[in-house]
Amino acid sequence: MNRYDNISDDEIRFIGYCPEMHIDPPRKKTFMWITSCVIAVILLAGICFSYLRGYEGQPDISSDPINMAVYEQKENNAEGQSYVEINDTIINDVSLHCFIPINAKPKLEVGLIKDIPPQYILGAMAADFGKENDSYQVIGAFVHQGEMISHSKSKYGFCALLKDTVVIGDDLTTPYFEQAIEENGDFFRQHALVLDGEVVTKFITQGQSLRRALCVLHDGRLCIIDTDMSVTFDTFATALCQYGVKNAIALMGSGAAVRWADDEAGRRYIAGADEFDFPDVVNYIVWEKTNNSATN
């Protein structure tokens, strides 16, 4: 992490530090520290007490149905056209664009896609990447076609793409990571936004940016939803819930993150910077046509 990022939201720093401009931060109230200590002691006592009593019934988080959603690929229509159904709406003053792929199967792709192949009817940048030791790395565990690209656990949310199943969840120790490797599937980590129709509030930063998510709607359809407004994760996730999203994991946001969609008439809608200098670790979730119908 760059040492210049060692700053909290409540601090300021004059660039080119000058001692005469140093201002002491507002003093934290003493009772807040006392309260925090008391709470910590109570929690520690509770943990010790539970351990000594042989606590049973702790749910296995890795299999907790609240923490994941399994989307089964519906049987594709071999004669049907592959396209993206596009719906636009406004929820809580947040504009949402919903892209539902029809007769297409998702997978991950790694590396810059300059000329989008016509068989990829929908796609968006998926996992974030960042610079570490002078080279770009994918942030969070990442598996592509069974090959482990990265194994860090920096984000709790995950998406596994396995044969005919897509799993979206919020679990740091999910077994789907290993399963993706074993089954030549794909796996990436991002922030979970919505689980079982509820906004996920932990690990969500307060920064504003253009947001995009991989979603499972209440009617069971898998889709991408994004907004062209700069909003916080919380605002976006709340709008997704009200739109009818049951489960959602973030996809790479910001104005540069690319997303494209081909509608029923074959028109392509592109968002993001298509001439941007992205590193080799840039990755996408794409939907590939599942049939070779003449109508495609």
Partner 1 sequence: MQEPKYLLISTPLEMVRIQEESILYIDSEGNYSNIYVVGGEKFFVSYQLGQIEEMIDQQLCSSLKTLVRIGRTKIVNLRYLCYIHTTKQVLSLLDPSGKKYDLSASKDALIMLKKAIEKIE
- Our finding on whether 2 is near partner 1 (CB under 8 A) is yes
Looking at 13, 74, 151, 268, which residue binds partner 1 (CB under 8 A)?
13
> Is residue 19 near partner 1 by the rule CB under 8 A?
no
Phi first, then psi, for residue 58 (nearest 5°) are: -60, 120
Q: How far is the CB of 6 from partner 1 (least distance, A)?
A: 8
Return the residues of window 265-284 that contact partner 1 according to CB under 8 A. Answer: 273, 276-277
Is residue 56 close enough to count as binding partner 1 by CB under 8 A? Answer: no
Q: Is the dihedral of CA 69, 71, 72, 74 positive or negative?
A: positive
| Shortest spacing between CB 60 and partner 1, in angstroms | 33
- Between strands 68-72 and 165-170, the pairing is antiparallel
The answer to the question of residue 134 lying near partner 1 (CB under 8 A) is no
For residue 157, state whether it binds partner 1 (rule: CB under 8 A). Answer: no
Q: Give the closest residue to 211 by CA, choosing from 190, 186, 188, 197.
A: 190
Q: Using CB under 8 A, which residues numbered 188 to 207 contact partner 1?
A: 207
Contact between 25 and partner 1 per CB under 8 A: yes
Q: Is 8 in the site for partner 1 (CB under 8 A)?
A: yes
In DSSP terms, which residues pair with 274 in a beta bridge? none
Q: Shortest gap between Cβ of 24 and partner 1 (angstroms)?
A: 8
Whole-angstrom distance, CA of residue 241 vs CA of residue 260: 23
CA distances from 7 to 182, 205, 254 (A): 41, 14, 22
- Check residue 31 for interaction with partner 1 (CB under 8 A): no
Binding footprint of partner 1, residue count (CB under 8 A): 34
Q: Which residues between 237 and 266 bind partner 1 (CB under 8 A)?
A: 252-256
- The residue among 215, 251, 60, 52 whose CA lies nearest residue 140 is 251
Candidates 56, 69, 209; CA nearest to 128 is 209
- In whole angstroms, the minimum distance from the beta carbon of 9 to partner 1 comes to 4
Does position 118 interact with partner 1 (CB under 8 A)? The reply is no
Amino acid at 275: E
Q: Contact with partner 1 (CB under 8 A): which of 37, 65, 131, 152?
A: 131
* Amino acid, res. 255: G
- 135 sits near partner 1 (criterion: CB under 8 A): no
3-class SS of residue 99: strand
Closest approach, Cβ 207 to partner 1, in A, equals 5
Q: How far is the CB of 142 from partner 1 (least distance, A)?
A: 16
Q: For residues 197 and 246, give the distance between their C-alpha atoms in angstroms, rounded to a whole number.
A: 4
247 within 8 A of 195, measured Cβ to Cβ: yes
Q: Pick the stretch among 5-13, 97-105, 119-127, 236-244 that binds partner 1 (CB under 8 A).
A: 5-13
3-state secondary structure 111-136: CCCCCCCCCEEEEEECCCEEEECCEE
Of these, 19, 20, 56, 295, which contacts partner 1 (CB under 8 A)?
20
| Residue 133 makes contact with partner 1 by CB under 8 A | no
Residues 70/165, Cβ–Cβ less than 8 Å: yes
Residue ranges in contact with partner 1 by CB under 8 A:
2-5, 7-16, 18, 20-21, 23, 25-26, 128-131, 207, 209, 252-256, 273, 276-277
